[in-house]
Amino acid sequence: MIAVDSSGDTVHEELLTYQDQTRYDEFFKFIKVHLEYPFKSITTDLDFMLEKSIKSVLGEDIPHQKCIKHSWIT
């Protein structure tokens, strides 16, 4: 997984050997707690587990939208 900011710079990345809700949660917690990153919004492919992690770790106030590239594909 790779988190990038609006300028395209990498904020954090992790290689996951499998998809798991706990690992997704830990990914966002690391960015929030250890890096103290000031989330303003998030763009993803709207994967269900990512959505769940964003809501549980960051709360309901962070805007979450689907990536335009992923919109064209699906």
Q: Is residue 6 part of a domain?
A: no
What is the total count of domains within the chain? 1
Q: Please indicate, yes or no, if residue 9 is contained in any of the structural domains.
A: no
Asked, for residue 61, whether it belongs to a domain, the answer is yes
Residue 65 banded pLDDT, cuts 50, 70, 90:
confident
Beta bridge partners of 25: none
Show the domain range for 62: 22-73
Residue 58 has pLDDT above 80, yes or no: yes
Q: Is residue 29 part of a domain?
A: yes
Q: Would you say residue 65 lies in a domain?
A: yes
**Three-state DSSP class for residue 60:** coil
- pTM confidence score: 0.85
In a domain, 68, yes or no: yes
The reply to whether 13 falls in a domain is no
